[in-house]
Amino acid sequence: MFPDEFDYERPETVEEAIDLLTENPEAEVLAGGHSLLPTMKSGLASPDLLVDIGRIDAMRGIDHGGGTVSIGGLTNYATIDESDAVRENVEVFAEAAHAVGDVQVRNRGTVGGNLAHADPASDLPAAALAADATMVVQGPDGERRVDADDFFLGMYATDVGEDELLTRVEFPARPEAAGAYAKKPSPSSGYAMVGVAVSLTVDAGLVEDVGVAANGIMDHGVRLDPVEDALAGTNPDEETVAAAAANATEDLEEMMMMDDLQASAEFRAQLLETYVERAIEDAATGTGLVAGPP
């Protein structure tokens, strides 16, 4: 199908883009286009104006310094996957970027588009939660910072207003943390039927810090607090990890679990427990401090 007619603007600064969005409430931001353009072609979105942010160089690239890794909203998945700064300091996010789609999607899709679009089955939200990301959002009133825990509001809904841009994502640099992302991809689309992100720091054989979050199970990425609580302070051996994973659905409202042609809510809950276990085991093995799975 062809999309409806639309106007097109290509600003070169964040401020110009925000002016265009403020003046045109029916406008949409175009980043990698890998979610927006299919939506327009299928008639589900018909913006009057596309604000193509692809030329805003200030929103592209990765900085590492002062205990923080900062990723510009326009940075594509391939750049994140190949970045030493991300892999060495926020391994879980590099692993999740590596799991997105195929090579074409990873070269085109952007971190800002992925997180702002907030598809329940996309790969980055859980990794942003597990790694304690801060979203930097800019609008007509300036810049504001939003914790990942407060950012995802529902299916395709985030704390980014219509006249705002997600300009960058910041992470605490944690070179001591091992990260893993375990994903059960949909056989048809490759999106996450269930995807679990884990960031794990083990000191003297005991879990010092842990973040565990999941995609695909609820209408947006969710932190799995009961699993984190069960792991804190333990030796993450096989038995402890299995017991912690058994808590995966404890805080999740069964009625609100994703249930569609790809997988029933019941099957997703089973997948979740298995993938939580796998992701923790992968991360624990990565720390080199505890025995890995047999």
Ligand X SMILES: Cc1cc2nc3c(=O)[nH]c(=O)nc-3n(C[C@H](O)[C@H](O)[C@H](O)COP(=O)(O)OP(=O)(O)OC[C@H]3O[C@@H](n4cnc5c(N)ncnc54)[C@H](O)[C@@H]3O)c2cc1C
Binding site for ligand X (CB under 6 A): 28-36, 73, 100-101, 105, 109-110, 112-114, 116-117, 119, 122-124, 160, 165-166, 190-191
Work out how close the CB of 184 gets to ligand X at its nearest, in angstroms, rounded to a whole number: 11
Residues 62 and 72 sit within 8 Å (Cβ to Cβ) = yes
* b/e map 250-270, b = 16+ CB within 10 Å: eebeeeebbeeebbebeebbe
Work out how close the CB of 255 gets to ligand X at its nearest, in angstroms, rounded to a whole number: 25
Q: Nearer Cβ to ligand X, position 156 or 246?
A: 156
Work out how close the CB of 169 gets to ligand X at its nearest, in angstroms, rounded to a whole number: 10
Work out how close the CB of 166 gets to ligand X at its nearest, in angstroms, rounded to a whole number: 4
Q: Nearer Cβ to ligand X, position 159 or 229?
A: 159
Q: Nearer Cβ to ligand X, position 29 or 182?
A: 29
Q: Nearer Cβ to ligand X, position 70 or 114?
A: 114
Report how far residue 34's alpha carbon sits from residue 184's, in angstroms, rounded to the nearest whole number.
21
Report how far residue 214's alpha carbon sits from residue 275's, in angstroms, rounded to the nearest whole number.
9
Q: Nearer Cβ to ligand X, position 76 or 199?
A: 76
- Residue 48: how many CB atoms within 10 A of its CB? 13
- Residue 137: how many CB atoms within 10 A of its CB? 23
Report how far residue 265's alpha carbon sits from residue 254's, in angstroms, rounded to the nearest whole number.
8
Work out how close the CB of 38 gets to ligand X at its nearest, in angstroms, rounded to a whole number: 6
Work out how close the CB of 235 gets to ligand X at its nearest, in angstroms, rounded to a whole number: 33
Contacts 24+ apart (CB under 8 A), 286-291: 286/91, 286/178, 286/179, 286/180, 286/200, 287/178, 287/200, 287/201, 287/202, 289/202, 289/205, 290/202, 290/205, 290/235, 290/236, 290/237, 291/237, 291/238
Phi, psi of 184 (to 5 degrees): -100, 100
Q: Nearer Cβ to ligand X, position 2 or 175?
A: 2
